[in-house]
């Protein structure tokens, strides 16, 4: 677990950050005391948060396998990368098709440091990183065009990122702008926390986390998540818990819901 003093000055280790919080839940080492304290606080209210993190990561892996395998997608724009863990987008995609091109986007300085060192892809493909806020779609698209051919289908990955865009109108504008930039045959892969599982306990966990976090977030219902998929063909089984997407339907639900939609 990192508590090193030789970090860039813009990294405030005294305030929990979403990427480091998630890293801690997944058993990573790139987090600080404030992040671990926030995790312990959240676990008291939502004991299954570690299962949520694992289910989210497993969903990403399954979705990328299907898109790179069955759907033949060779370009991935992963927004809200987070800290490198097992089964990252490029690892899965290039394991199936080494020529795949992946562009990661995040605006956390510590994520940038690790991405530059660890997010290295195959010689046949390309793996690049953009330092940008998810709301800055123009910058994302301009920089990604150095790697991604926007005349060809793209999988836009937005796992656990729209919940940090609190304004619904702004969140929709981000998704609409991204989908407007990719051609037919492209996909949107979405994961987002809801109160569908846990109800008031989940809402209270988020409220308390937001009191200390530098990156507050909000819950959205499955019905609200469906509005981000308007106009897309949603792959079976629809909008479900990450633990139940293309898995055993009897798997225990987690509060992170997900969907994959195809642009016609």
> pLDDT truncated to tens, each residue of the chain (264 aa)?
444 434 454 567 777 767 777 777 777 777 788 788 877 877 777 777 788 888 998 999 999 999 999 999 999 999 988 765 667 898 899 999 999 999 999 887 777 777 666 666 667 888 888 999 999 999 999 999 999 999 999 999 999 999 999 999 999 999 999 999 999 999 999 999 999 998 988 898 888 878 877 788 999 999 999 999 999 999 999 999 999 999 976 789 999 999 999 999
SS3 194: coil
Domain boundaries, the chain: 55-196+216-263
118-121 CB contacts, 8 Å cutoff, 24+ apart: 118/84, 119/81, 119/84, 119/88, 119/90, 121/90, 121/94
DSSP letter at 253 equals P
SS3 176: helix
CA 53 – CA 157 distance, rounded (Å): 16
Candidates 110, 94, 48, 80; CA nearest to 190 is 80
pLDDT at 118: 60
Q: Can you list the alpha helix ranges (DSSP code H) found in 119-161?
A: 137-144
SS3 244: helix
pLDDT at 31: 75
The alpha carbon of 137 is separated from its chain's Cα centroid by a whole number of angstroms, namely 16
Evaluate the omega torsion of the peptide bond into residue 106 and state whether it is cis, within 30 degrees of 0. no
Question: Beta strands of 10-124 (E only): which ranges?
Answer: 75-79, 101-106
pLDDT at 34: 79
Reported as type and span, the H/E element at residue 240 is: strand 240-241
CA 249 – CA 241 distance, rounded (Å): 10
CATH architecture under which domain 55-196+216-263 falls: 3-Layer(aba) Sandwich (3.40)
Instruction: List the Cα angle 69/125/109 in 5-degree steps.
Output: 105
Lookup: tokens for 91: 């690892």
């Amino acid at each position: 677990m990192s508590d090193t003093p030789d970090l860039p000055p813009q990294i405030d280790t005294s305030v929990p950050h979403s990427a480091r919080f998630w890293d801690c839940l997944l058993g990573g080492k790139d987090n600080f005391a404030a992040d671990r304290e926030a995790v312990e606080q959240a676990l008291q209210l939502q004991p299954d948060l570690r299962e949520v993190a694992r289910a989210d990561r497993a969903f990403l892996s399954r979705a990328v396998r299907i898109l790179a395998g069955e759907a033949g997608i060779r370009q991935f724009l992963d927004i809200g990368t987070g800290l490198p863990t097992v089964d990252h987008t490029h690892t899965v995609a290039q394991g199936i098709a080494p020529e795949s091109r992946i562009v990661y986007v995040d605006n956390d300085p510590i994520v940038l440091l690790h991405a530059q060192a660890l997010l290295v892809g195959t010689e046949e493909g390309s793996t690049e990183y953009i330092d940008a806020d998810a709301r800055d779609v123009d910058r994302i698209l301009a920089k990604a065009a150095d790697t991604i051919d926007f005349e060809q289908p793209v999988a836009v990955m937005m796992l656990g990122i729209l919940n940090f865009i609190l304004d619904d109108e702004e969140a929709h504008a981000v998704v609409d702008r991204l989908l407007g930039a990719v051609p037919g045959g492209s996909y949107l892969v979405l994961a987002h926390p809801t109160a569908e599982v846990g109800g008031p306990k989940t809402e209270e966990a988020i409220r308390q986390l937001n009191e200390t976090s530098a990156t507050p977030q909000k819950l959205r219902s499955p019905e609200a998540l469906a509005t981000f998929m308007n106009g897309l063909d949603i792959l079976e089984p629809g909008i479900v818990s990450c633990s139940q997407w293309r898995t055993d339907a009897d798997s225990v639900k987690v509060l992170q819901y997900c969907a994959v939609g195809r642009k016609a």
